[in-house]
Structure 1
Amino acid sequence: MKFRIFIIGLVALALAGCKKILEPEPENLKTIEQMYTDANFAQGFLINAYRTIPAYYDNSDFATDDAVTNQLTHPYLQLATGSWTAAGNPASVWNQSYEAMQYINLFLANSAKVKWAVDPESSKLFNTRMRGEAFGLRGLYLYFQLRNHGGVASNGQLTGVPIINQYQTATSDFNLPRASFDACVKQIYKDLDSAEAYLPVEYNDISSAAQIPARFSNITQNVETYNRVMGQYARQLFNGLIAKSFRARTALLAASPAFKNASNTVTWADAAGYAAQIIDYKGGANSLPQNGGTYYANTSEVDGLGGGNNPSEVIWRENIVTNDGTQEGQHFPPSLFGNGLMNPTQNLVEAFPMANGYPIDHPNANYLPANPYAGRDPRFAKYILFDGSTAGVSNTVIRTGSSSGSDNGVNVRATSTRTGYYMKKRLRMDVNRNPISISGKTHYNPRIRYTEMYLAYAEAANEAWGPTGLGTHAYSAYDIIKNIRKRAFGFASDPYLEECKSDVGKMRELIRNERRLELCFESFRFWDLRRWKVDLTKLNETARGMDVNGNVFTPLSVEPRAFQSYMYYGPIPNSEVLKYSQLIQNQGWK
């Protein structure tokens, strides 16, 4: 496989007669040994690993039945329509992950020698925390590698990726085989266990020595020392709760149909148990934040963030960006001076039930094809702009019909929708993209949401114990979904949920649909469809739209999908397979 060997030193120019100005300054000649006395330099290895964490919003939704894009050269459009190859894979995280692991492994090999602070207790505590971060980040990158590149190899075996736990030098053997899927899962667990052992669950200041967690009390009893290292100033660094969340993600992946075989011992009960740890920490089934479904647009909460705090819905996030309108510029309709990149599909629109909770094709739905947007799930209008929606700072009416006379109409211009819909989720409607008076707002991108963890539990618990089974926990899949739907609909009662609670299969479909709606446009669907190993006809469902002109609704076939059966698993980069004889490709990829 391809590793970029990190070069610590720079070779000084030594040519005879060279002028002093051509010689590098001594401070630029970094060596491994300088890590030991330069804490900032040493910490830089971890910072580099943070910088390449895969994006939460990667727009892989463009390659699903949930959305298309009007950017016709977009890599995910090409992928979805027949150009997904081992040599051209926009979903690859191979190189960035192994490069990050290089930094992490170099750090772990040397961190104990670094003088992190003058005070010995602070120095030891800093080393403890940063080693925890490093183990956690290594587990994170291996999870993404396993999700994006693990699969059934050409030898017929369920296989993971090479496990690299040592810093690789120019003399290392790079011709390494892929570890088994099970071995990769266990390695992720091991790294996350180490992270939890070294890190607090969350970074908070304390007021007395009695509040110092027991595993750190042998290092210091000084409140100021603890707060300096493990307090609020460390927020948004990897912590114990993040480690628990990635363990839950890993177990859900491993328990899913695409990855189950005799050598993989992870069960649905395991996955439910790991997700339950996060739910219990949050306070139980009834503690899901009531405004969590609109985490991106809770303006007072977002604008008031500071001190590294998270919104109540968020376990981990990226840094806050102020006076920003980047996403709005990408995704607003043309009339709001946006490029309209994310076009939700009619397929997704039809997945939103009616306001009474029934799917639109249910006999009790009261769905009106002649007035299809009336009486729908409240999340529909919160997440999608449709014909007649209002948007932007001036509440502009959005007309999406091809004959509407608006630039927002279907295929009117290059930045117009192809489906008759625009994305509203992720965006703040109080951003102004008008060049005359452009103004941005505060934004953040999540990395992990509590809703994801609640949905993970519901899915796993239903498979392990049925809709109302508890296992060893205080709540069931039914209890979790009841609370998610109550938040969405404001239900006093939910007759469709009651209809599903006695049938594992019906509850499975409901849970999967709730996951689709709650996490739409957040880059989950592409991988969910694959780990569920849905029927190939579902994977290849044509992306559809709706051209609305007055009272005339014209269905559109917008974009076909061209996935083959081997595409349930992503490929190993072809360049790596060609270079290394022990690196076996997944079945079907060339």
Structure 2
Amino acid sequence: MKQSLTKLYTLFFRQHIERALLCLLLLQLAGCKKFLDVVPDNVATIDNAFTMRAEAQKYLFTCYSYLPYSSDIGANPALAAGDEFWMVRPYSTSETPWQIAQGFLSANNIYMSQWGVNFRALRDCNIFLDNINKVVDMRQAEKDRWIAEVKFLKAYYHWLLVRMYGPVPIIDHNLPIATSAEAAKVPRVHVDAVFNYISSLLDTAAAGLPEIIADRSTELGRITRPIALAIKARVLVTAASPLYNGNPDYNGFKNYDGTPLFNASYDAGKWKKAAEACKAAIDACEKNGMVLYTFAQLGVTLSDTLTRQMSIRNSTCEEWNPEIIWNNPNSTTYDLQRQALPRLDPARIGNESPVGAFAPTMKIAEQFYSDKGVPINEDITWDYNNRYKLRTATKAEGELILEGYTTAAAHFNREPRFYADLAFDGAMWMMQKKTFHIECKAGQIQTRKNIYDNNVTGYFAKKLINWKDEIQEGQGLYIESYSWPEIRLADLYLLYTEALNELGGPQPEAFKYIDRVRARAGIPGVQTAWSNYSRNPAKFTTKEGFRQIIQQERLIELAMEGARFWDLRRWKRSMEELNKSVTGWDVDQSDPVFYYRIRTLFRQTFQVRNYLWPLDSWDLLNNPKLVQNYGW
């Protein structure tokens, strides 16, 4: 049943809290048994939930249990509701995100709404904070840590709301049960007030959080100070970005009482706060030993090329590696990998578990740089106009493309992240026990096998696949699931670079951090690459030019991790990118001449109103103080 904010408040002190299902997130934890390993033995009540530490801990885990299922294609719009991946009907995943991608979101069909669940989460966080000091068998230091964790979660759930809906009500406390129906109708507040509240709450939380998880066997996934500071950096960069900072589209967007919900003028000071937050987060992460990941597994000796590949791939797929700031324990990747993984092994082609239908689009393949570290349409050494012509791989290219195989010229002389993140017709795919090659023209190994297993673009998301996955003899598909990386150090470096450029233009400190990411990727630094190989060698010398470089660097480094969906929105570039055709190779053809033709799969449409989700008419009806988002 749909619930309005009014209903949420009137149900505030209902005796029985339906928490058992929420605490099942422990079942989704990957590999080792982490901290959410306590299931309530009955349905707790408010009266007894805070009498003893063991019961209070169950409520703490309930507050954690609302963390989003970020790796779930059917739950996270950032994966499949944009332009990064494509599938065709009948979908082997939830159909919901594809409805958004195809422009069918409306005020009457609000797909993937997070409104209700996050307000329920905030209610439970407030209950916890109101009652935790009643527990008698706990040390105050432990109570303080739990309080800090829940304050972080409270800030985070507000963040998820503001990112999706813009101005939202601030739920700083639960209303008393005696509150009148009229007083319970809480309005939205100015978007800057929401961001400031989140930032302040994260500061408060960070002060009480541990620097690291000391007991990794039972507590991995719980919040630390570096996590809180990194999320604060992300929040403040978003607040400073064009969607929220002086956006003229929202000049007439007002609250129920006529007060503005957005600032009409741009505020450069927001970028100063964002840059300071990014630097504080970086310092905290590096102080605690976080570094950009480099592959170095005991007993495994690889060439420089393959070591680079595995460094890039495993920066995402190796759980709790030194680059990961926060792995979300509520979101593991078994099904995501199954959807993205093709049938690699020709000896076990009949296994039905790998699907390989979650297909990156052509625009994602083309956004990766050339091997000189600049966009392919800028590289003076790269034949952009003939990129769809055929070319045969030589022995020198054999670690990346099958020797003697004919594929598109677009697949040659690309940066290492292209080969680490994507697979294509002719690509090599290294796994822990064996290296395979991809053949996906009609009738070949990785082509359509039944109505569901249809990769529609000719590209596979290698980046999402753990290198330990395999089809085991007599046992079917084994997937090394990992918790979803909500934020890693490379993301934070690029946020800092962006904030510095917006604050003061190109500067040495900004080049320093973007070049760290590029060095791990195996490409020259920005100044070297553009000066020597770009048709626009001075591009990095202006704020506008460097902004384009930074944005493309983010789109490449964080490709297929859910960042693109929200970055395009905060940059106000969705109107540009999501009004283009979704394209891929002509995958139903067997002849290379015909296979390597661009095929249009869908023509997307995006309107200004789509930058923010609509509010449900049920909530608007029950709470007249809520106003609908712009354009809906």
- Under a length normalisation based on structure 2, what TM-score does the superposition of the two structures give? 0.75
Verify the 8 A CA contact 1:135 1:192 in the aligned structure 2. Answer: yes
Q: CA RMSD in A?
A: 3.1
Q: Which residue of 2 aligns with 1:447?
A: 486
Would the aligned equivalents of 2:415 and 2:523 in 1 still touch at CA under 8 Å?
Answer: no
Superposed, 1:262-341 pairs within 5 Å as 262=263, 267-283=270-286, 288-291=291-294, 297-298=313-314, 302=318, 310-319=320-329, 325-334=334-343, 337-341=353-357
Change (3 A) 1:186 1:241: same
1:513 Cα deviation after fit? 0.8
How has the CA–CA distance of structure 1 residues 169 and 72 changed in structure 2, closer, same or farther, with 3 Å as cutoff? farther
Output one character per residue of 1:342-362: Cα deviation in whole Å (capped at 9) or x when no partner. Answer: 211111111111101121112
Structure 2 residue 350 is matched with structure 1 residue 350: no
Match of 2:231 among 230, 246, 262: 246
Of residues 571, 584, 589, the one that matches 2:627 is 584
Aligned to 2:400: none
- The one-letter code sitting in structure 1 at the alignment partner of 2:609 is Y
State the distance in 1 between where 2:283 and 2:344 align: 46
1:8 Cα deviation after fit: 5.5
Contact 1:106–1:167 (CA under 8 A) maintained in structure 2:
yes
The alpha-carbon deviation at position 436 of structure 1 amounts to 3.2
For residues 415 and 467 of structure 1, do their structure 2 counterparts lie closer, same or farther at Cα, with a shift above 3 Å needed?
same
CA 87–234 in structure 1, closer or farther in 2 if over 3 Å, else same? same
- Alignment-derived partner of residue 60 in structure 2: 46
Equivalents in 2 of 1:171, 1:420: separation in Å?
60
* Matches of 1:436 and 1:72, distance apart in 2: 29
Q: Which residue of 2 aligns with 1:364?
A: 380
CA offsets per residue over residues 551-576 of structure 1, 9 Å max, x none? 55211111221221211222223321
What's the TM-score, normalizing by structure 1?
Answer: 0.80
Report how many residues are paired.
519
Do 1:325 and 1:433's aligned partners in 2 also have CA atoms closer than 8 Å?
no
Q: Distance in 1 between matches of 2:561 and 2:207?
A: 30
Letter in 2 for 1:342: F
Flag the 1:116–1:181 CA change in 2: closer, same or farther, 3 A.
farther
Q: Is the partner of 1:167 in helix, strand or coil?
A: coil
Q: Secondary structure at the match of 1:258?
A: coil
Equivalent of 2:604, from 548, 561, 565? 561
Structure 1 position 517 matched with structure 2 position 556: yes
1:433–1:169 CA distance, 2 compared to 1 (3 A): farther
Deviation, 1:238, is 1.5
Rounded to whole Å, the distance in 1 between the matches of 2:120 and 2:330 is 26
Please name the residue that 2:104 is paired with: 83
Counterparts of residues 44-443 of structure 1 (less than 5 Å):
44-57=58-71, 58=76, 60-70=78-88, 72=90, 74-117=95-138, 123-150=139-166, 160-168=167-175, 171-172=178-179, 173-204=183-214, 234-261=219-246, 262=263, 267-283=270-286, 288-291=291-294, 297-298=313-314, 302=318, 310-319=320-329, 325-334=334-343, 337-367=353-383, 368-369=386-387, 370=389, 371-391=409-429, 394-401=434-441, 404-406=442-444, 408-409=446-447, 413-433=451-471, 436-438=474-476, 439-441=478-480, 443=482
Could you say which residue in structure 1 is the equivalent of 2:15?
Answer: 9
Unmatched runs of 5 consecutive residues or more in structure 2: 18-40, 247-262, 296-308, 346-352, 390-408, 532-536
Structure 1 residue identity aligned to 2:117: Q
Q: Are the counterparts in 1 of residues 101 and 604 from structure 2 also a CA contact under 8 Å?
A: yes
What is aligned with 1:460?
499
Which amino acid in structure 1 is aligned with residue 551 of structure 2? R
Q: Per the alignment, do residues 149 and 187 of structure 1 end up closer, same or farther by CA in structure 2, a change over 3 Å counting?
A: same
Q: Which residue of 2 aligns with 1:488?
A: 521
User: Partners of 1:37 and 1:385 in 2: how far apart?
Assistant: 55
Q: Structure 1 counterpart of 2:425, which letter? A: D
Task: Identify if the C-alpha distance between structure 1 residues 10 and 90 changes in structure 2 by more than 3 Å, giving closer, same or farther.
Answer: closer
Q: Which residue of 2 aligns with 1:17?
A: none
Measure, in 2, the Cα distance between the counterparts of 1:511 and 1:400. 33
Letter in 2 for 1:397: H
Q: Shift of the alpha carbon at 1:47? A: 0.9
Spell out, residue by residue over 1:56-93, the C-alpha distance to the aligned partner (whole angstroms, 9 max, x if none): 33263323332212455521111121211134333421
Distance 2:606 2:494 in 1: 27
Residue identity matched to 1:417? N
1:137 offset after TM fit, Å?
A: 0.6
| 1:289 to partner: Cα distance | 1.0
User: Deviation digits for residues 116-146 of structure 1, max 9, x if unmatched?
Assistant: 43xxxxx111111111011111001111100
Deviation larger for 367-376 or 93-102: 367-376
Unaligned runs of 5+ in 1: 12-26, 118-122, 151-159, 206-230, 469-474
Deviation at 1:174, TM superposition (A): 3.4
Q: Which amino acid aligns with 2:440?
A: T
1:234-290 Cα shifts (integer Å, max 9, x gaps): 442122211111211111111000111347855112111111112223449x98414
Q: Secondary structure at the match of 2:475?
A: coil
CA contact (8 A) 1:411 1:418 kept: no
Distance in 1 between residues matched to 2:312 and 2:373, nearest whole Å:
24
Q: Is the 8 A contact 2:16 2:46 kept in 1?
A: no
Paired AA for residue 172 in structure 2: N
Give 3-state SS (helix, strand or coil) of 2:464's partner: coil
Q: Answer whether contact 2:69 2:331 (CA < 8 A) is retained.
A: no
- Check conservation: 1:328, 1:433, Cα contact below 8 A: no
Give how far 1:111 is off.
1.1
Q: Describe the superposition over 1:329-374 as per-residue Cα deviations: whole angstroms up to 9, x where unpaired.
A: 2211256642223211111111111101121112514235221101
For residues 10 and 187 of structure 1, the distance between their equivalents in structure 2, rounded to whole angstroms, comes to 30
